[in-house]
Amino acid sequence: MHFVTLTSDWKNDDFYTGALKGALLSSCENASIITLSKQIKAYSVAEAAFVVRNSYKHFPKGTVHIITVGSDIEPYSKKLAARIDDHYFISSDNGIFGLLGDAEEVEVVSIHLDETESIHSFPELSIFAKAAGRILNGEKLETIGVSTQEYKKQVPLRATLENNTITGAVIYIDSYGNAITNISTDLFERIGKDREFTIYVQSKHYKITKLNHFYSETSAGDLIAIFNSLKLLEIAIRNGSAKDLLNLNTDSTIRVEFN
């Protein structure tokens, strides 16, 4: 069986998802199509990259991952297909491949376009589905496009260090309103060296002085910090939404000061 994942900023009442799935099945009838997310914030390449980066490795090798977010920001941009960690990715040239992690081997091609396809307002249907079908049917990337190293690569937002302080940011908010940051367990332990600390959320008004291992260790309404399954610092409110109650969003500042 062949697997295809879809990540988009299309909403439930859009016809785009159904049209793309139909085109994929027409190209490869035995494909299994899985929606990673269709609730990405409109045009947010960084959010789409977070979802794909933390999901794709759990799929079988050879899976094709179609990312439609940001594909119409620059309609004349290149359309790319890539092989990363023995998975295939199809997207517009919007910088997302630079956000998918540091793989040892990356092969990228600029997909061959005819004149009609290059100006189509729905490139996912006219270009992405066709390229995915060819990969699923066993074609090599070099037959689908021209090898290129000239493509956009966004750089992930990194936490910064100054003296005894880590300054990070919220990079993703999950469906519970928990705020996931770019502060990793490794960075926290390397800088902290088992010292006491204070985590400031947005400002000095909201602060946390300990880490929890489980949400259940706290009481309803408690503000907590936890290192999640991704080994990233997460700010949460037990049985509540940190996003709503603390007015958090992506790029909100999270600061850790060690004593």
Q: Based on the domain organization, do 131 and 252 belong to the same domain?
A: no
| For residue 4, pLDDT beyond 60 | yes
**Distances in Å between the alpha carbon of 134 and those of 18, 86, 125, 127?**
20, 16, 14, 11
CA distance 182 to 255: 11
Q: Based on the domain organization, do 127 and 192 belong to the same domain?
A: no
Report yes or no on 202 lying in a domain. yes
* 3-state secondary structure (DSSP) of residue 94: coil
**Contact partners, residue 204, CB within 8 Å, separation at least 6:** none
Of 147, 181, 203, which one is at a domain's C-terminal end? Answer: 147
Q: Could you tell me the pTM of the whole model?
A: 0.90
| For residue 72, pLDDT beyond 80 | no
CATH assignment at residue 245: 2.40.30.90
Report yes or no on 155 lying in a domain. no
CA distance 95 to 33: 24
CA distance 86 to 88: 7
Q: How confident is the model at residue 163 (pLDDT cuts 50, 70, 90)?
A: confident
Least confident of 1-15, 116-130, 210-224: 116-130
Of 147, 175, 198, which one is at a domain's C-terminal end? Answer: 147
Q: Based on the domain organization, do 187 and 134 belong to the same domain?
A: no
Q: How confident is the model at residue 125 (pLDDT cuts 50, 70, 90)?
A: confident
CATH assignment at residue 119: 3.40.50.10790
Q: Based on the domain organization, do 92 and 67 belong to the same domain?
A: yes
Report yes or no on 170 lying in a domain. yes
The parent domain of residue 83 ranges over 2-147
Q: Based on the domain organization, do 108 and 236 belong to the same domain?
A: no
| R_g of the chain, CA atoms, integer Å | 21
Domain count of the chain?
2
